[in-house]
Amino acid sequence: MPSKRSVRLGSTEIELDSLVRDSREVADIIADDLEADFQEARYKNFDQKLFPFADAADIAEWDGYLTTRYSPLYLNFDAICSDCPMGPCDLKNTVGRCGLGGLACQARLSLRKACRGCLSQMADTRETLAHAAKLNGQDAQVTWGKHHDRSDASHIGLMTAMWPRNIRDLARAMSYAEAQLGKLLLASYTGYESRGLEGMALHAGSILMVAMDVSELLKMNFFGFNNASDHEMTEMVNWPPADVSGGLGSVQAGKPVVSFIGDAFLSAWYTVKRLKEAGIADKVEVCGIGSVAHDLVRFYSPARVLGPMAMASKLVRYGISDVIVASTGCINWDFLSDSKCAGTKVIWTGAGGNLGLPDRTDDQSESIIQDLLEGLSGAWVRDVEKAAEIAASLSSRVKRPGKQFLSDEQVKQEAEKCTPDCDLCSNRCPNGLLVGQALRKAAKEGAKALFDIEEGCYSCGECEDVCPQRIHLDDLLMSSLAAKAPADKLKMRSGRGPVSRVETTSWAFGSIMGNCPGIFHIMGCGDAKHRGDLGWIAHELVRHNSIVFTAGCAAGDIGRHYSEKKGKYIFEEFGSEGQPRNIMNCGACSGCSHIIDQALKWPRSGSGISHYGNFAETADTSHNLISPTAIVWGAITDRMYAIVAAWVRAGIPVIVGPDSGFGWKRAMLGSKWRWEDWWACSVFDARKMFVDPSPSAMVLPVETKEEAVTYGMVLAMRAADIRDNRQIRLETYIEFFQKHFGEFPDDWHLYVRSDWELPLRYKSRLLRMLREDYGWDIDRLKVKRAKHPDGRLLDIGQYGKEYGAMAFPTTKLPRLVSRRRTSVEKKEEVKAK
Amino acid sequence: MTVSKPEEISRLLREKKGVLFLAGSLCDEMELGSERLCDYVANLSSRINAPVAASGNVINGLRERGAKVSKKAAIQLVEMLRYEGWRDPIMGARPELLVFIGFPNDVVRALVYATQGADTMVLGTGAIEGATYCLADCSQFQLKKDLEKVIAGLS
């Protein structure tokens, strides 16, 4: 059947070629989108362009805005470029032989870092896709769940314009993502223009989200993962239940322990299946480290989440596991040596590289098991079903010697070797830990003096390498970990999966007109200096009535937060529905896509904007009106760099920290004091409107958790905030600032557009400050005249017109100014006639 | 990068106009004998009457010690230096010298690299490549001695 060339919407016949550059091969997709989700009025009033299977260049108009307004601020400079045969060239003070400048070189490296961040997730998604197709066939149906409909945004829809119906569609989306990654990698060696390259780095983030969407759909449809969209909204307040335990202290002594590490969940899925079939599931502790842990608990809640990927090396050497089944993940290291010292057997399933283990994929399972029992430290088994068979059988047969840790006296003796005038360890620590200072205390107090630095240590071994006294720092830190292990516990909800537009819309009133200060997305890799930071951040935000989402390793660390007063862990203390004062865990790393997808549903709900092949308009609208704030705490991996790129591209500002946030290639900020930089375009008449600097940054590195929540709150403001919304955000921002830093922020007045926005509890003080410190004209409890940032004192009514865009539709994309004439223009036309 | 002796650091602090201290999170954590790094920051800044921009949570400790301090995110001040002129209320004119103290080495390296149009000085245990002036790689024990010499040079 020939493809459609046009579609009728209401009274308008829409030619597909008027919407897309080349409709061949995508005509059916676009026609389907138009009929299912498009609005005639938007087609008539705006210059609509759709970009199915979008290239980076198709979204460059939006990326250009982001990289100009929030111009990348590079935080390190790699001067030597070896990208071509004419090099290496030193770009410190000159351009290279090929003409590449230093700035463009940094942008290339930023793009490369984002691409690297996509690799392991995309490789894993491809493996899962192939496996699902093998089991179910290409025509097997997929669905987001019964509460999802065509108006629910997803990155598959945003980037490809497809609404996936079966595995074949997912394969097409994945092929698109892989092809894009190839193009981006090519650009990272051939591009010459820094802003364009940074735009492509953002594109890499969007591509990663497509792969995560594909991964999640496969997991939910074919492997029994939780899917909130298949449950009634009335269940959500306590669904999934907070019944997942974790931490080293939760593992039952005496039971065999099988642990999974990395991204690939398939081996875990088959292992659990085998254990259940053999009727021995309750006799084996099944644990996970990193992303796979959070996948595991979505289909098997008795599994234990041991810790984030940044802790993986330590957790392997701690020696709790009898068998480890591992694959590539967001952090890779030679953990074979770690597992050997713990006597743990390793089954490596990763297809994308091995650890120097023999490839035993085609050998008989029993022969591999025998070899492992007789002393072989590990085997490479690329067949996940076989790997699962071996793991399930091996776990109860391994006789592992118990791990010995230093006693407190031994810790003191070892620490006594430290000399006071050295501190090479502290100077070399990539996480900024004062190792030497802690060691000197440990010489007197024992292992407990090392508790703090153990939390921030991710076992890179730098400190031990540089120690002139050859102190066995690693042994000391492991003793500290062992001392704390019995108390290391967490409780959490397993990942819920997606959030439907219906549920998203249900909190609209609370988040826009009520007393919810913001929506926050909390993620991280577990390398923050203090393990309790993430839980504290989440608790501080939720108890202040925010809506909080989390996913990945951050969810486990948040689950460690325990309220002594209430006797509850954080996931037990708060509900899990889409409402203020609730916290939702969306799943493993790939579950991050659910968080960003729900954030991009608002343009459809609020402005009728269909998202299919329509990234720029969706992100622009979301960014201007209601996008949330993300906090990435512990941001060490390249994958997190790509994830943050996706968030920035969606118009969502991101706080990164603590130390690893400064180790990134770049920050993205604007200067809040340069008022002339902050403008928006009226969608009605293209008028340039000067607005408050909100959000003032898109990637903001900070040092402490208190800074994270406080600056997170100011980044939650949007120029279009209505006054109720602005009032609660301003109030919480000031409250956090006062509580944590003991003073008012220096920029609060920049966010005041009317006296209605002044929080009641601070109102008289703020009015006095406006008069005395900022030169505003105040009459009792009213602002008569306000000081525009350009220095003019304006009547408050005029001020509102010249500063801010309260509840006003604006755009950053000139293409999206309405074709419709305003009533004023219409009157003028009538007059002229 | 010029690795400077404490006496040279004192001279620079005395002579430079528009000195702005940026104090990082280690000011609260780093113990130098019986004192904390915070004590030295407060002492140093008050001797040359320079404002302190407190990053992390160090504002509370610095305020207690009487420093002329405001809460800032370090990166936002560095970002302001990308433009001509100066508008941040922490000081009336563009600073000529940013003194970084109390930041982990990797953090201060990033901040120093990103700073444009002003000299940078790092007072810490690491000699930071890219800083205009800094102390040599040293222990906390040595840093204490160096800072005491710098303070003595400002008396």
Q: What are the chain B neighbours of A432 within 8 Å (beta carbons)? A: 26, 103-107
- Look at residue A452 and tell me if it is in a domain: yes
pLDDT greater than 80 at residue A832? no
- Residue matched to tokens 């160090």: B58
The pLDDT of residue A829: 66
Assess contact for A675 and B90: CB atoms under 8 A.
Answer: no
Average model confidence (pLDDT) across chain A: 95
Mutate to test the interface with B, among A68, A71, A423 (most CBs of B within 10 A): A423
Peptide bond into A658 cis (omega under 30): yes
> Do A453 and A353 share a structural domain?
no
pLDDT digits (tens, 9 = 90+) for B74-102: 999 999 999 999 999 999 999 999 999 99
Considering only the beta carbons, identify the residue of B54, B114, B140 that sits closest to A423. Answer: B140
- Provide the sign of the torsion angle of the four alpha carbons A522, A527, A531, A536, taken in this order: negative
Q: Is B64 on the interface with A (CB under 8 A)?
A: no
**Residue B23 predicted with pLDDT over 80:** yes
Pick A76's closest partner by Cβ from B57, B74, B110. Answer: B110
CATH number of the domain enclosing B85: 3.40.50.1220
Give the integer Cα–Cα distance in Å for B105 and B102: 9
pLDDT at A833: 64
Query: Looking at the domain assignment, is residue A313 inside a domain?
Result: yes
The string of pLDDT tens digits covering residues A124-168 is 999 999 999 999 999 999 999 999 999 999 999 999 999 999 999
* B57: containing domain: 18-125
Q: What average pLDDT does this structure show over A472-501? A: 96
How far is the alpha carbon of B48 from chain A, nearest alpha carbon, in Å? Answer: 24
Residue A285 and residue A498: Cα distance in Å, rounded? Answer: 28
Domain CATH number, residue A716: 3.40.50.2030
User: Could you tell me if residue A814 is inside a domain?
Assistant: no
pLDDT tier, A401 (very low <50, low <70, confident <90, very high otherwise): confident
Q: Are residue A549 and residue A462 in the same domain, yes or no?
A: no
* Residue B56 lies inside a defined structural domain of this protein: yes
For A643-694, write each residue's pLDDT tens digit. Answer: 999 999 999 999 999 999 998 899 999 999 999 999 999 998 889 999 999 9
Instruction: Verify whether the Cβ–Cβ distance A432 to B71 is below 8 Å.
Output: no
Question: pLDDT class for A333, splitting at 50, 70, 90?
Answer: confident
A73, A76, A742 ranked by CB distance to B79: nearest: A73
pLDDT value at position A826? 64
Residue B103 lies inside a defined structural domain of this protein: yes
Same domain, yes or no: A522 and A450: no
- In angstroms, what CA-CA distances link B45 with A712, B32, B67? 30, 18, 7
Confidence of residue A824 (pLDDT cuts 50, 70, 90): low
Q: What is the pLDDT of residue A508?
A: 84
> How far apart are alpha carbons A356 and A351 in whole angstroms?
13
* CB pair distance less than 8 Å for A704 and B87: no
Residue A177: which CATH number?
1.10.8.190
**Which class for A156: exposed (0-12), middle (13-18), buried (19 or more C-beta within 10 A)?**
buried
What residues make up the domain containing A126?
31-228
Whether A738 shows a pLDDT value over 80: the answer reads yes
Residue B67 belongs to a domain: yes
Q: Could you tell me which residues come within 8 angstroms of residue B27 by beta carbon, excluding any fewer than 6 positions away?
A: B36, B37, B38, B41, B54, B56, B58, B61, B62, B101, B102
Q: List the 65-124 stretch of B: residues with Cβ below 8 A of A.
A: 70-71, 73-76, 78-80, 82-83, 87-90, 103-107, 109-111, 113-114
User: What pLDDT is recorded for position A169?
Assistant: 98
Predicted ipTM?
0.98
Contact with chain A for residue B25, Cβ under 8 A: yes
Q: Which of A423, A659, A700 sits opposite B106 (nearest CB)?
A: A659
* A630 & A550 share domain: yes
- Cα–Cα distance for residue pair A14/A1, rounded to 1 Å: 20
Tell me if B5 is assigned to some domain.
no
Residue A314 lies in a domain: yes
> Is the pLDDT score of A625 beyond 90?
no
pLDDT at A822 over 90: no
Q: Which of B1, B29, B139 to mutate to test the interface with A (most CBs of A within 10 A)?
A: B139
Q: What is the mean pLDDT of residues B94-117?
A: 97
Residue A274: predicted pLDDT: 97
Distance CA B125, CA B135 (A): 7
Domain boundary among A177, A199, A228: A228
What is the rounded average pLDDT of the residues A47-74?
Answer: 97
Contacts of B138 in chain A (CB under 8 A): 423
Same domain for A390 and A293: yes
| Helix or strand (DSSP H, E) at A259 | strand A257-261
- Look at residues A465, A463, A439 and name the one whose alpha carbon lies nearest to residue A452: A439
Q: Is B36 exposed, middle or buried (0-12, 13-18, 19+ CB in 10 A)?
A: buried
> Which of A427, A666, A675, A678 to mutate to probe the B interface, most B CBs <10 Å?
A427
Beta bridge partners of A305: A246, A288
Residue A514's pLDDT is: 80
Task: Decide if B137 is inside a domain.
Answer: no
Share of chain A above pLDDT 70, in %: 98
Q: How many residues does chain B have?
A: 155
pLDDT exceeds 90 at position A509: no
Write the residue in A430, A662, A671 that is nearest to B110 by C-beta: A662
pLDDT band, residue A403 (cuts 50/70/90): confident
pLDDT per residue over A788-798, tens digit each?
999 999 999 99
Chain A: closest CA distance from residue B119 (Å): 16
Concatenated DSSP letters of B77-129: HHHHTTSSS---TTSSS--SEEEEES--HHHHHHHHHH--SSEEEEESSSPPT
Statement to judge: residues A160 and A72 lie in one domain: yes
Confidence of residue A581 (pLDDT cuts 50, 70, 90): very high
Residue B8 belongs to a domain: no
- The model's confidence at residue A618, banded by pLDDT at 50, 70 and 90, is very high
Q: Which of B60, B71, B106 sits opposite A430 (nearest CB)?
A: B106
Task: Tell me: do A357 and A427 sit in the same domain.
Answer: no
Q: Which residues of A touch B73 (CB under 8 A)?
A: 700, 702, 707, 711
Q: Total domain count for chain B?
A: 1
Mean pLDDT confidence for B127-132: 95
A756-776: average pLDDT: 97
How much of chain A is helix, strand and coil, in % rounded to 5?
Answer: 50, 15, 40
pLDDT digits 0-9 by tens, A361-370: 999 999 999 9
- The number of folded domains in chain A is 4
Shortest CA gap B135–chain A (Å): 13
Q: What angle do CA A388, A393, A396 make, to 5 degrees?
A: 125
B38 is a domain residue: yes
Residue A108: predicted pLDDT: 98
Tell me whether residues B88 and A673 touch, CB distance under 8 A. Answer: yes
Give which of A75, A533, A536 to mutate to test B binding, by max B Cβ within 10 Å. A75
pLDDT at A54 (0 to 100): 98
**pLDDT tops 80 at residue A91:** yes
Tell which of A434, A458, A487 closes a domain.
A487
Q: Check pLDDT > 90 for residue B116.
A: yes
pLDDT, tens digit, 9 for 90 and up, residues A172-192: 999 999 999 999 999 999 999
Does A105 lie in the same domain as A141?
yes
Q: What is the pTM of this model?
A: 0.97
Q: Give the pLDDT mean for B130-136.
A: 96
Q: Which of A707, A735, A762 is the last residue of a domain?
A: A762
A820 in any annotated domain: no
Over residues A806-824, the mean pLDDT reads: 83
The answer to whether residues A483 and A503 belong to one domain is: no
pLDDT confidence band for A819 (50 / 70 / 90): confident
| A364 and A437 part of one domain | no
B139-148 residue pLDDT tens: 999 999 999 9
* Listed residue (B32, B13, B29, B65) closest to B145, CA to CA: B32
- Co-location of A575 and A547 in the same domain: yes
Give Cα separations from A744 to A370, A483, A769, B20, B68 (angstroms).
Answer: 68, 42, 10, 21, 15
Q: A351 with A281, same domain?
A: yes
Please tell me the distance from the alpha carbon of residue A142 to that of residue A229, in angstroms, as a whole number.
13
From A201, A300, A211, A157, select the one nearest A591 (Cα to Cα).
A211
